[in-house]
Structure 1
Amino acid sequence: MAGIRRMSLDSPEEVRPFQDDRGQLEMVNLDEGAVARATFRPGWQWSKHVKPIAGTESCEVPHRGYVISGYMTVRMNDGEEATFGAGDFMVIPPGHDGWVVGDEPCVVIDWQGMTDYAKQKG
């Protein structure tokens, strides 16, 4: 049986930067999958700053997360759209774009789908 394990996003096991210095992921890896603190700087948009890394037309990662600060709008491929802000839980299926709203970074803790998010291909 496993014992207590302490990890910190302030001392991440892995850091993945987004293109154009628009933010980064700081990750710890659990047996159940990665947990990340994502910092998205003003001007960040998935289709501009992660799409070149992911190599897909839209984000194909499902997300379960909690917004710590800032605002992000997410638009599904079918046009459904929502804006999330501090204190909101996010449940986002695959097939979307997203972007920071306003002049403050959007910081999100995400515990689903982060294992391969913004990971450079081969």
Structure 2
Amino acid sequence: MSIAAAKSLENPEETRRFPHGHVDLVTLGGTTAGRAEFEPGWRWSNDVAPIAGTKSCQAMHTGYVLSGRMHIRMDDGTEADVGPGDAMVVEPGHDAWTVGDESCVVLDFTGLENYAKQ
């Protein structure tokens, strides 16, 4: 049996808020997808780590940057920047922060099931 599904992130099933941002979520066929907005001043280690209870983000992210810029630092010291139009994969074990004075908006298709979940 084939299944096709669509849900709008304009009407999310859930919104999780954290300092300097939020993520809007929908679940489709067992996959949680979301649009995250990371405002200027957002940093994972400051704003989400207290919720996650881990030293670094342990979620894998597969996403696409719609706007703004983000800097990512892996636990091993590897660093990268992502910006508008970039597709990205970020393995578990990282910190990240918004760069500049524009919110970074990212569509994420993995790693959001428990992200910033109280």
Partner residue in 1 for 2:28 = 30
TM-score by length of 1: 0.93
Give CA deviations for 1:44-84 in whole Å, capped at 9, x if unaligned.
00000000000000000000000000000000001000000
The yes-or-no answer on 1:74 pairing with 2:72 is yes
Matched ranges for 1:1-122 at <5 A: 1-19=1-19, 22-120=20-118
Structure 2: runs of 5+ lacking an equivalent? none
Give the aligned residue type for 2:71. T
Q: Percent identity?
A: 53
CA RMSD across the alignment: 1.0
Runs of 4+ in 1 over 4 A off after TM superposition: none
How many residues align structurally? Answer: 118
The alignment partner of 2:117 has SS state of: coil
In the aligned structure 1, how far is the partner of 2:96 from the partner of 2:46? 10
Structure 1: segments with no counterpart, 5+ residues: none
TM-score by length of 2: 0.96
